[in-house]
Amino acid sequence: MEKLFIICTFDCSFQYYEETVKQWVKEQGDGIVIDYELVKINDHKSHSFYTVSSLEEFTEILDTEWAREWDKANNCKDIVYKLELVE
C-alpha cells in the first residue's frame, strides 16, 4: 500500500469537484483506492490523502482520456506526493 498527498486546484466549485471524485473513485478506483479524504482549502483548492494498493495503477486511472478531458474542462491541476513514515 502507498500513502499519497495531493494538492489540487480547479475552476469548478468544491462541491462539484467532491462529487466528481466520489464518482471517479467508485467507478475507476475499485480495488485501487483503499481510502481517501478530501479537505476543502477554499472553493477552488483541495488537499487530499489517499491510500492506494498500487501507485502504478493509481497513476493509470489519473491518466485516462475521461480524466484528462475533465481536468482540461475544469482547469484541474494536481501535485501528487508520496508519503513515507519518518521513524
Alpha helices in 9-76 (DSSP H): 14-28, 55-62, 65-73
Place of cell 479537505: 39
pLDDT of residue 14: 97
pLDDT of residue 38: 97
Distances (CA, A) of 8 to 21, 31, 34, 39, 86: 11, 23, 19, 10, 24
| Phi, psi (degrees; rounded to nearest 5) at 80 | -110, 130
| Phi, psi (degrees; rounded to nearest 5) at 18 | -60, -45
pTM of the entire structure? 0.90
pLDDT of residue 20: 96
Which residues of the chain are under the pLDDT cut of 50?
A: none
pLDDT of residue 10: 98
